[in-house]
Structure 1
Amino acid sequence: MGLTTEQALKLKEEGKYNGNVKAGTKTVGEILFDNIFTFFNAVNLVAAIFVFTTGSYKNMTFMFVCFWNAIVGIFQEMKARRTLTKLKILLNPVAFVIRDDKEIQIKSDDIVYGDTCVFYAGDQVCVDGKVIEGEGFVNESLLTGESIPVPKKKDDNVLAGTFVAEGKLIVEATGVGEESYTYKIIKRAKKFKKNRSEIMYSINYVIRLVTLFVIPVATGLILKQHFVSHDSYNEIVLSTVAATIGFIPSGFVLLTSLVMFKGAIKLSFYNTLVQDLYSTEKLARVDTICFDKTGTLTKGRFDVTKIVEINCSRDEFEKALKEYSNTGFDRNSTILSIRAYYSGKDYNWNFIDGIPFSSARKWSLLEFKEGTYVLGAPDVLLSDKEKFNSKYNQEMVHGARIIAFGKCESYDKDKETFEGFSLMGLVILKDTLRDNAKETIEFLDSQKLNIKVISGDNPLTASIVATEAGIKDADKYIDASSIDSIEDIKEAVDKYTVFGRVTPEFKLKFVRALQEQEHIVAMTGDGVNDVMALKEADCSIAMQSGSSAARDISSVVLLDSDFAHIPEIIREGRRSINNLERSGVLYLTKTVYAILLALLFIVIPYSYPFKPIQYTLLGTLTIGYPSFFLAFEPNDERVRTGFLYNILFKAIPNGALVATNVCLSALMVYIWLRSDLTLSTMATLTTGLVSMFIFTDLCRPFTRLRFWVTVLVPIVFWTVLLILPDVFDVMGITLMRFYGSVVILSIDFVIYLFYRMLTRKFFNKDKFRARITNWLNKKARKQAKM
């Protein structure tokens, strides 16, 4: 029986072996490429090359932002990749195969087509195959979602990704590697999932939008400075680069990466692996979360919930049952559950002989010096089945497994029969709720999230579990096999809470139906049957105990398989989004005034007033430094819709205020001083003052941290200008220049208040904000599917 070693080696050389599959995670090359070769980095690199030709290397400091942004992204994704690789090595099952007429143990990846594999109770089936000998029960929950084991006997087929719950199966491998059923499902989702982050998409959208201005504005500035101002090559390049890089909120890109990275590190202490930097944000935004029953709401294993003694004392029944579970041939899930229930109790009976469990007989027998006992299915062991079924029907309907236990008078091991069975009692097992499941559901319900349960189990069973977990409207359940058309699915997602008998294809359609109704969907899962839905969802959460395919495709992996960590992920996402929204106002204010000033100075008879080094100073001290502290503050407020809208609503008037300041400075210089260096100094000074006013306004209400940030920023800013004017290409700060900037600031502060009053009155509309948000989400989903 089985192949020879030479046959196995030949088949492996031909590629017909189990390990011949492509990984679902990104390769090192893909990680490096995605983080280095970005549109953001390309724009900054072109600008840096032009600055390099001028020899003014200090004006290239803006490239540090690109460098650190790439480093943070690469580090986080490499960390996630290493963790998943370790998990695969740790969880990679071994298997027993028969080669050269001997049973040997090998790695599951080394199984070849035609191998004769031996699977015992508790083993994972790692190939598709046909049973050629033996009987048992197979748990197919990772493929079908159905938690009740399926009986298997000779000539039945088994699939990779299932587990042998009871018995022993000898299987001929007929599907290995890419030919297995499991891989065919994974293949439909093997392309690595793109981000669907509103923050990331908003930033990229702004970068792409403002880049449309770069070429025409740069051309206009170059022509004006060459033919009108007659500036030198170095002056033209530096001022043009300063104008164009000011368009791009580069510091905001880095800050976003740092905030998300900090969140990933924090969540790692909660046994949560964040596979991409934007995962926490996506979960914080969802309004609908879909749970699987088996392995998510429940522990995914049967636990003893009740012991019912019938024709004996409790002590006598428990002694016999404890010894039975701790002795003998079987190590199936039922025996292990009973053993766990009686852990710590030991009576040390004298074992003699017995008959192991068989799925055909549905019972097992053990003989002790103290007596002979039988454990098995009630419908086989009991004579009065109708009375038993009527009494315990409700328990079975609700998903319980009932086992009968009792004594027998005699048995025949060769014929595998016994006589004189006397019932002692019943063992009731059930797939129980996870610890903290109710608390987690209660938190999600308090946050107004729609909760859906989609399971391969019986819909009534799933409904009972959902009710026990505290999910609202859990009594509204339906058999998904009765839903055919897309229109029916769209109607059902609104009408029902619990869906049973769900197939992988239905889960995918289910998620898409929710998304088409403008919902942001999170999907939890652990099996191969969840892969397609996990990939399609806006945020996907996998359990470490599930399949590697589910882990590879998901945004977040719960390393201890406990979905009670979801509230902490949501809180971390809220902190990130809310703080980044506030910090984003500072960065996009700079984008707004950079665009306005670039357009204005094409016609104003002065050179563009800023150089890259001055933008670096302003960006670091009046934007980067305060935003860094603001971004890491605790903040678990509910996320408002319209991330980009909320930022632009404040950034546009703020940017207009700064542009007005600089224009007034230009007018003052034109009237009195007529000097480009003076204009550059006044522009830097007034921009710094207005920026301080803006972030002070954003810091309200003040905390101790915010107070000290608003105090230290102006002190550091003035100190740098006074000590290092030559480094930043400004003149020494005199009292007259300071007074002039204060006068300008006072004038346009009135303009600012008037502008904000108009925008609040006419443009602060919730529907407009919601439209922008929905549009961004649709664009992000469309891009992710490309």
Structure 2
Amino acid sequence: MTAVELERGLTEAEADERMRAGKGNASPDGSSRSLGEILAANVFTVFNGIVFAGFGILLVLGRWQDALFGLPALFNTVIGVVQEFNAKRTLDRLAVMNAPSARVLRDGVAREIAPEGVVLGDLLVLRPGDQVTADARVVRTDHGGPRGLEVDESMLTGESDPIRKAVGDEVLSGSNVVGGTALAEVVQVGADSYAAKLTVEARRFSLVRSELRGSIDRLLRWISWALLPLILIVVNGQMQAFGGWGAAIASGAWREAVVGAVAAVIAMVPLGLVLITSIAFAVSGLKLAKDNVLIQELPAVEGLARVDALCLDKTGTVTTGEMVFNHAAQLADRAGWQSVLGTLGTAPDANGTAQCLAAPFGDHGAPRVCAEIPFDSARKWSALITEPGGDCEPGSWVFGAPEFVLATTDTAAAREALAQAGAIAESGLRTLLLAHSTEAIGGGEHPELPGGLVPVAILSFREEVRDDALATMAYFAKQGVDVRIISGDDPRTVSAVAREVGIEHTAGVDARTLPDDIDELAEILEREHVFGRVTPQQKRAMVHALQSRGHVVAMTGDGVNDALAIKDADLGIAMDTATPATKAVARLVLLDGRFDRMPGVVAEGRRVIANIERVSKLFLTKTTYALAIGFIFGLLAWAFPFLPRQLSITDGLTIGIPAFFLALMPNASRYRPGFMKRSLTFAVPAGIVVTAGILALHLLAPRLGEFTLTEMQSAATLALAGIALWVLAVLARPVHPFRVLIVLAMYAGLGLVWAIPFVRDFFAVTWLPADLGWLVLGIVAVGVVLIEALRAWHRSRIELRDVSLT
């Protein structure tokens, strides 16, 4: 830019013209999923079409008592819409930048405008405390002054130290100015800026990966497509059972045929499984909220229980982000060196590292200071000049990075001090050096090191590790979770922190040497566990690489640089100090920043998974026998043996009510993959046993005599309930007083249905003749024996599989 342009900036007319040309800094809006798309995805499904069609048919026929099944389907749909809409709303609010205004130079005057008012070519006037609102290139620093511009990019790149920017360097949108002033020409705006690209990527709509939800959704799809041909078989069979299509329509018996067909079809759908799962997730979310763990998407409760690869961002997750004093090694005898350090640590403008000196050295008294030279990131040192008359050696005391403090000193003591400082730095600690000289500091506005500097003390500092980190790491190691620490900092620093929290694989890898190929990266990640100088894109690639090897990956962090990796991980976890953008994409937020909350989340996830697996076997047993009975009775043109309301009895007592309580009980079972396979290997044989019992009743009852339709339906209901309640009793084990109480209460509930006249009339059931009653009792007894045999086989099969895996 010309000197005139540097003094003037754009004119208002030029800025307006560029704004009209679409060169403004407007941020991209919206996520990839609209409310209409969410409604369509959850409402217009084959599953809902079948259920609500049956619901509507029964209402039209005036059989509202048989249409109660519509309520769980409605609840399922509402829950699905609400969950996805909340996720969308959170993403839409996401923003990497939170600057309230931007300062630009226009017509030679610095003025504040809205960030979206910045246009391409504008000159940003950057001062300490400002957030950069668009990608820009530095064209002048400090208006010719010495300090230059210092920018904190930690939330974008993970680099914890401020970055010095010279003329020609780029400053990224979303970074913060911490020192110096500058003019910077805007080179990228709006969707092309760094912060906007991060925002667009983070806003891409996705739901948390959930084995429970994924398996249940897949099962529902299978059932939905299987129902289409089964509906035709069942409807035809019911019409044939009432004398054929013509006779049924002529006599009006088609109404009963339709009710029977609807009962058969609806019985095949595990309506309550989605509802119970959602309730279990919601209750867990409320429970964790009391421990200051925010679950932003309910299925995330199960996520950490499945994780086998945990990627931790160092700063803000494993460490507090603060530096703490580690050790002081005295190199030469100079009076009052401790008091000099105390003065440096208690100075009003002391930086974070210098402030660590206040506690160990602040009570050593104050030297007689006649001049101070503040710290500058360009020269990397500060100084105090002390005068005679106190307990402190008079002269120049220089404090800063060893290689900068001793840059002009070539003595044996200096070389030895540099070697010692280098050895300490290799261990991952940060080192600073205090040196003394009897000569004065020259240079005026541009201070110069004095001659004759003598190294007095080497100070080492380390990042403060969270108090709960070591115990939490030990817990995850015991649980078989492979932990990797990933940071934008120096690999040596990351390694030091890793050792402190008990991670043995401490040979830090410099991420700048990592390959771009996912397979090669995955190979390295299987071996190495500590990484430094990692870029945001590499963090994301690491998540993808681990996932490509079959790992379930959790990623924690607090900076914008972590947002994309957190979003793509199977479970993203944000700390309390995280930026709004990072919290928005995380599935789980530790509101009080306590890392030791994580084991509690694991335990809660395990409880949910184990309990949902237990109750899923109940629902899938019912789906199996409903499909089998509907198919067989339809093919044989037999009248369906139940009314929908009678199935409501068995559904409520053998599945719905007990499933609600079982899903919320304590359960410490360790997670094992293959939830749906295990459920089906029990549920399908159990459903076949129930089907065999109903077929046996239908085949054997006519040999005992003639029974009314109501008596046969009552007998079928009792036979079904008797065997299904024993399935419940088996799945409620191991024996626990509360589980025993649940099972006994369901048996009592079944008895009350027959004992209370108006309830018996509502459900259209009756007491059975003795012969039919004994037949039902015999069928249930055989069913109980078969279910016990199934349980023994299923347990031995699981135990054998667990042994083979170990």
Shorter-chain TM range is 0.7 to 0.9
2:343 matches 1:320: yes
- Partner of 2:316: helix, strand, or coil? helix
Whole-Å Cα distance in 1 between the matches of residues 189 and 372 of structure 2?
37
Whether the 8 Å CA contact 1:121–1:167 is kept in 2: the answer is yes
Whole-Å Cα distance in 2 between the matches of residues 769 and 5 of structure 1?
74
Instruction: From the superposition, tell whether residues 427 and 753 of structure 1 become closer, same or farther in structure 2 (CA, over 3 Å).
Output: closer
How far does residue 443 in structure 1 lie from its aligned partner after superposition?
0.6
Whether the 8 Å CA contact 1:221–1:240 is kept in 2: the answer is yes
Aligned counterpart for 1:358 among listed residues 369, 376, 379: 376
2:153 matches 1:140: yes
Whole-Å Cα distance in 1 between the matches of residues 301 and 512 of structure 2?
31
TM-score (norm 1): 0.86
Aligned letter for 1:317?
V
Aligned letter for 2:738?
L
- Partner of 1:294: helix, strand, or coil? coil
Whether the 8 Å CA contact 2:240–2:637 is kept in 1: the answer is no
Structure 2 counterpart of 1:388 = 417
Whether the 8 Å CA contact 1:585–1:651 is kept in 2: the answer is yes
Aligned counterpart for 1:292 among listed residues 309, 313, 325: 313
Whole-Å Cα distance in 1 between the matches of residues 751 and 17 of structure 2?
76
Structure 1 counterpart of 2:271 = 250
Whole-Å Cα distance in 2 between the matches of residues 763 and 284 of structure 1?
19
Structure 1: 5+ residue stretches without partners: 771-786
Structure 1 counterpart of 2:679 = 647
How far does residue 348 in structure 1 lie from its aligned partner after superposition?
10
2:731 matches 1:698: yes
Structure 1 counterpart of 2:780 = 745
Aligned letter for 1:299?
T
How far does residue 594 in structure 1 lie from its aligned partner after superposition?
0.4
2:431 matches 1:402: yes
How far does residue 448 in structure 1 lie from its aligned partner after superposition?
0.9
2:473 matches 1:450: no
How far does residue 634 in structure 1 lie from its aligned partner after superposition?
1.6
Aligned counterpart for 1:600 among listed residues 632, 635, 640: 632
Instruction: From the superposition, tell whether residues 555 and 627 of structure 1 become closer, same or farther in structure 2 (CA, over 3 Å).
Output: same
Structure 1 counterpart of 2:555 = 523
Whole-Å Cα distance in 2 between the matches of residues 760 and 656 of structure 1?
18
Whole-Å Cα distance in 1 between the matches of residues 12 and 77 of structure 2?
48
Aligned counterpart for 1:498 among listed residues 515, 525, 530: 530
Residues 626-665 of structure 1 aligned to structure 2 (within 5 Å): 626-665=658-697
**C-alpha offsets along residues 304-362 of structure 1, whole Å, 9 cap, x if unaligned?**
434566634475235412442x25xx7x54456667x5899899999998655433333
**C-alpha offsets along residues 637-693 of structure 1, whole Å, 9 cap, x if unaligned?**
211221012211221222122212222222344332343322221111221222221
Aligned letter for 1:398?
S
How far does residue 203 in structure 1 lie from its aligned partner after superposition?
0.8
- Count of matched residue pairs: 764
Aligned counterpart for 1:69 among listed residues 73, 76, 82: 76
Whole-Å Cα distance in 2 between the matches of residues 616 and 254 of structure 1?
16
Residues 11-410 of structure 1 aligned to structure 2 (within 5 Å): 16-23=23-30, 32=39, 34-75=41-82, 92-95=98-101, 97-98=103-104, 108=115, 111-121=118-128, 123-131=130-138, 132-134=140-142, 135-188=148-201, 190-230=203-243, 231=248, 232-307=253-328, 311-313=334-336, 316-324=339-347, 326-327=348-349, 332-334=351-353, 356-364=374-382, 375-382=399-406, 383-384=409-410, 385-404=414-433, 409=440
Whether the 8 Å CA contact 1:289–1:450 is kept in 2: the answer is yes
Whole-Å Cα distance in 1 between the matches of residues 305 and 340 of structure 2?
51
Structure 2 counterpart of 1:780 = none
- Partner of 1:387: helix, strand, or coil? helix
Whole-Å Cα distance in 1 between the matches of residues 526 and 682 of structure 2?
37
Whole-Å Cα distance in 2 between the matches of residues 33 and 398 of structure 1?
57
How far does residue 531 in structure 1 lie from its aligned partner after superposition?
4.3
Instruction: From the superposition, tell whether residues 458 and 87 of structure 1 become closer, same or farther in structure 2 (CA, over 3 Å).
Output: same
Whole-Å Cα distance in 1 between the matches of residues 448 and 723 of structure 2?
92
2:746 matches 1:722: no
| Greater mean alpha carbon deviation, residues 464-473 or residues 367-376 | 367-376
Instruction: From the superposition, tell whether residues 655 and 622 of structure 1 become closer, same or farther in structure 2 (CA, over 3 Å).
Output: same
Whether the 8 Å CA contact 2:346–2:355 is kept in 1: the answer is no
TM-score (norm 2): 0.84
Instruction: From the superposition, tell whether residues 157 and 226 of structure 1 become closer, same or farther in structure 2 (CA, over 3 Å).
Output: same
- Partner of 1:44: helix, strand, or coil? helix
**C-alpha offsets along residues 450-505 of structure 1, whole Å, 9 cap, x if unaligned?**
22233333333322322221123334756551535444324323322223343444
Whole-Å Cα distance in 2 between the matches of residues 15 and 677 of structure 1?
75
Whether the 8 Å CA contact 2:130–2:176 is kept in 1: the answer is yes
| Greater mean alpha carbon deviation, residues 350-359 or residues 162-171 | 350-359
How far does residue 204 in structure 1 lie from its aligned partner after superposition?
1.4
Structure 1 counterpart of 2:145 = none
- Partner of 1:361: helix, strand, or coil? coil
- Partner of 2:174: helix, strand, or coil? coil
Whole-Å Cα distance in 1 between the matches of residues 116 and 141 of structure 2?
23
Instruction: From the superposition, tell whether residues 335 and 635 of structure 1 become closer, same or farther in structure 2 (CA, over 3 Å).
Output: same
Whether the 8 Å CA contact 2:236–2:637 is kept in 1: the answer is no
Percent sequence identity is 31
2:617 matches 1:585: yes
Structure 2: 5+ residue stretches without partners: 1-6, 143-147
Whole-Å Cα distance in 2 between the matches of residues 225 and 625 of structure 1?
30
Structure 1 counterpart of 2:717 = 684
Instruction: From the superposition, tell whether residues 412 and 614 of structure 1 become closer, same or farther in structure 2 (CA, over 3 Å).
Output: same
2:502 matches 1:470: yes
Larger-Rg structure: 2
- Partner of 2:315: helix, strand, or coil? helix
- Partner of 2:762: helix, strand, or coil? coil
- Partner of 1:97: helix, strand, or coil? strand
Whole-Å Cα distance in 2 between the matches of residues 399 and 108 of structure 1?
40
How far does residue 280 in structure 1 lie from its aligned partner after superposition?
2.2
Whether the 8 Å CA contact 1:436–1:564 is kept in 2: the answer is yes
Whether the 8 Å CA contact 1:610–1:680 is kept in 2: the answer is yes
Aligned letter for 1:378?
P
How far does residue 435 in structure 1 lie from its aligned partner after superposition?
2.7
How far does residue 65 in structure 1 lie from its aligned partner after superposition?
1.0
Instruction: From the superposition, tell whether residues 410 and 191 of structure 1 become closer, same or farther in structure 2 (CA, over 3 Å).
Output: closer
- Partner of 1:660: helix, strand, or coil? helix
Whole-Å Cα distance in 2 between the matches of residues 94 and 547 of structure 1?
16
Instruction: From the superposition, tell whether residues 272 and 6 of structure 1 become closer, same or farther in structure 2 (CA, over 3 Å).
Output: farther
CA RMSD of aligned residues (A): 3.8
How far does residue 767 in structure 1 lie from its aligned partner after superposition?
9.0
| Greater mean alpha carbon deviation, residues 516-525 or residues 376-385 | 376-385
Whole-Å Cα distance in 2 between the matches of residues 754 and 316 of structure 1?
81
Whole-Å Cα distance in 1 between the matches of residues 119 and 357 of structure 2?
37
2:744 matches 1:711: yes
